[in-house]
Amino acid sequence: MQNIFILLYEYLIIVYKFVYIGENMSEVLSIRISRKLKEAMRKADINWRMEIESFIKRKLHQYFKEKYLKEAKLLRSKIPSAKVSSAELIREDRDER
């Protein structure tokens, strides 16, 4: 169970770094596109930098979410199931109050 929390923590740190900390620093990313596409982009009144950056952030968020969820499910499948039902555990906890 502790491993699942570690995975969740790592995922949250990665998301935080990309979404919040990344705003203060910038790098140049160069891609090759067709001339026609570039001309069409120039004609459009769209902030392409912001659009592309937003797309990359969403894609990375989705990628890391799926990656860590897959790892968490794998770890969870290795944990033996409890001999007692969750309803019984909840009832026991409530009775102790």
* H-state helical runs in 1-97: 2-19, 35-43, 48-78, 86-96
Phi, psi of 81 (to 5 degrees): -75, 155
Residue carrying the six token digits 């990628």: 63
Domain range for 87: 2-96
- For residue 63, pLDDT over 70 is answered with yes
- State pTM to two decimals: 0.61
Structural domain total, the chain: 1
Burial status of residue 93 (CB atoms within 10 A of its CB: 0-12, 13-18, 19 or more) = exposed
Query: What pLDDT shows up at residue 24?
Result: 64
pLDDT in tens, 11-59: 777 776 666 655 667 788 899 999 999 999 999 999 999 999 899 888 9
